[in-house]
Amino acid sequence: MLEQIIKSYNEAIFDTDREQALHVIHSAITQGVSPEDVIFKIVIPAIEQMVKSISEDFDANLAQHFMTAQIAAEVTEEMLAHFSKPPQVIGRVVIGTAEGDLHSLGKRIVMGCLKAQMIEVTDLGVNVPAERFVAEAVAHGARVIGISAMMAHTARGENGCLRVRQLLQERGLEGKIKIIVGGAPFRFDHELYRTVQADAWAEDGISAGKIITDLIREVQP
Amino acid sequence: MITGMERLVAAINGGVSDRIPVFCNLIDQGAKELGMPLKEYYADGAHVAEAQLRMRERYGHDNVWSLFYVGKEAELLGCRKIRYAEDGPPNVEDYVIKVYDDIAVLRIPTDLNAHPAFREELKCLQILKREVGGKYPICAYVTSTMTLPALLMGMDKWLELLLCGPPDLRDALLTKCHEFFVKEMTAYRDAGADVLVYSNPFGSTDTVSMNYFHDHSLPWIERDIKAVGTAGIVYYCGTSRFNRVIDSVLKRTGIGVYYLSPLDDLVEGKKIIAGRGLTCGVINDMKLIDWTREEIRAEVRRLIEAGMPGGKFLFGTGVMPYQIPEENIRTMLEAAYEYGSYEKQGS
Ligand code: B12
């Protein structure tokens, strides 16, 4: 039974059909699947499947990333309320767009994918100063700072990722907090993340989930 | 002396001149040219015109721009807050549509030419037309119907409305955007723009799936182009890829110029266009910031060798980032003039 549900859910995600995806989940619940199983056996494997297809050269488009994240976040929120005991959080992340940058979509997609994977994300919003990235990461016990930037000057600027790196260095936090970046400039220049001294980058929101999980594991005490 | 317009017309018609046409999209660099902050620069159409003319003279490329920044379109539709940076393009800071109810009250200006936010652009176009009209193609930038809502409500909320929102509301917004699109296109043509860059990231398969493209994007592209005609129109998806839809766009709209993504396969793109239009090979200008002289020359050479055989080819850039060193701009252009020369090849 579960196999059939997983298949239908994956198909709906692929077709960016939100209603169908939600319908599949709700009928699964009616058939007696537990909220925990919905997340761990349906939603997360669907994301993992997508990561796998992308790495095998399947080109997912922005709409698919958006819908995967949107649906996963919605379902997760709904299911979490019905969990028999609170789930174990894998780690914490803060995310925002670089100072001077107002593009919020990339961040939103990444957040949706992270939530479904039991990573606690704090949204710092847009136009976030470097100091705030670091202060909030410390306050939330975050292992990873995610910085989204859609333009050359906000990706490369002195007040962006470069400054976050400098602050982490100054405060001796580099072993505890990793930086991941993403957005158009990084997709056009795959080495740019090194230039701006980030630890990693991700080409898309779905892969970001996996890369961030790996980063968390690296620094998790 | 051969002009940029002659080069462009020759390329469009499948003929040759001294070299292939080379478009270099220097926008914010104009402020550097005049030695003033970006905000001051964009406050006056005469600044933009003067800088465009000076940069063209200095670098020798074939086009000039009337574009200030894309956020201008949002200003024409009621946006009152633009965020300026010291070293990058101005951005829309306040969205005209914050909640769905704002769609019903969105007002399309009756006469763009009378709109204060359009005045400086008109001034710029007037000067450009007077100084280089007919000699160098004057480019204008127009956001497509399907993409314009992103400027009015953000990509985030637009994608949400597009994919999950009420269809009647989506269509109401698109209908208004189409009305604006037609007015804007007409106003630019009337003011003397020759090359009209039709910017449509939602017509790219990086943004939407092929099915979605055919069901939603293409019908709006058809409607846009049917309303304004194909003269001077350039299909451009904001540097997102669109090789897979070229054939449909060509057949259904007749658009004759395709400004590919640097991430598209140029040889494949040109093969699909198959002499039915002008192929524009676009360099990945994000990399121009750090590339060495040798790397720049090698990349320009690669693109031109891929695109030039068989003619109907133009070499171009995206919206050149402000951070590109002047030296690198020169290196790129010199390489383009050299490798794109017909004279050297003796044809
Ligand atoms: C759609 C688009 C537009 C639209 C909508 C803009 C808007 N309001 O958002 C329009 C046509 C209106 C437009 C206008 C402009 N644009 Co524009 N635009 C694009 C385009 C095609 C896509 C950008 C986008 O929104 N993507 C949505 C995001 C979510 O998609 P994504 O990058 O694939 O995101 C994934 C990954 O990057 C990753 N990710 C994202 N963030 C993060 C964060 C973390 C931590 C991680 C791990 C991963 C991650 O996951 C995401 C989901 O899969 C890009 C080119 C391109 N192909 O990328 C240019 C681009 C971003 N634009 C560009 C520019 C310059 C502009 C303008 C400033 C032009 C001007 N001079 O006015 C204006 C600004 C308008 C404004 N806001 O005021 C440049 C920026 C580069 C530069 N030169 O600095 C680009 C790269 C085009 C180019 N090469 O010339 N644009």
ipTM of the complex: 0.94
**What are the tens digits of pLDDT across the range B281-291?**
999 999 999 99
In order of their start, the domains of chain B are: 4-346 (3.20.20.210)
Pocket of ligand 1 contains residue A190 by CB under 6 Å: no
Q: Express each pLDDT in B223-243 by its tens digit.
A: 999 999 999 999 999 999 999
pLDDT at B346 over 50: no
| Strands of B35-116, DSSP E | 64-65, 82-83, 91-92
Q: What is the pTM assigned to this prediction?
A: 0.96
Residue closest by Cα to atom 90 of ligand 1: B319
Separation in Å, CA of B126 to nearest CA in chain A: 31
Q: Which of B93, B208, B321 sits opposite A61 (nearest CB)?
A: B208
Residues of A with Cβ-Cβ distance to B289 under 8 angstroms: 152, 156
Asked if the A91-219 domain carries CATH number 3.40.50.300, the reply is: no
Contact B71 CB / ligand 1 (< 6 Å): yes
Per-residue pLDDT, averaged over A177-197, amounts to 98
Q: Do B212 and A16 touch (CB under 8 A)?
A: yes
Strand ordering across the sheet containing B257-259: B22-23, B313-316, B278-282, B257-259, B233-236, B195-199, B138-143, B64-65
**Do residues A203 and A219 lie in contact, with contact meaning Cβ atoms separated by under 8 Å?**
no
SS3 at position A146: strand
Q: Which of B156, B249, B134, B171 is nearest to A112 (CA)?
A: B156
Q: Does domain A2-80 have CATH number 1.10.1740.10?
A: no
A154 vs B: CB within 8 A = yes
Distance, CA of B165 to CA of A55 (rounded, Å): 31
Helix (H, G, I), strand (E, B) or coil at B64: strand
- What is the rounded average pLDDT of the residues B85-113? 97
Instruction: Locate the domains of chain A by residue range.
Output: 2-80, 91-219
**Cα B215 to Cα B197: distance, rounded to the nearest angstrom:** 23
When pLDDT is cut at 50, 70 and 90, the band that residue A60 belongs to is: confident
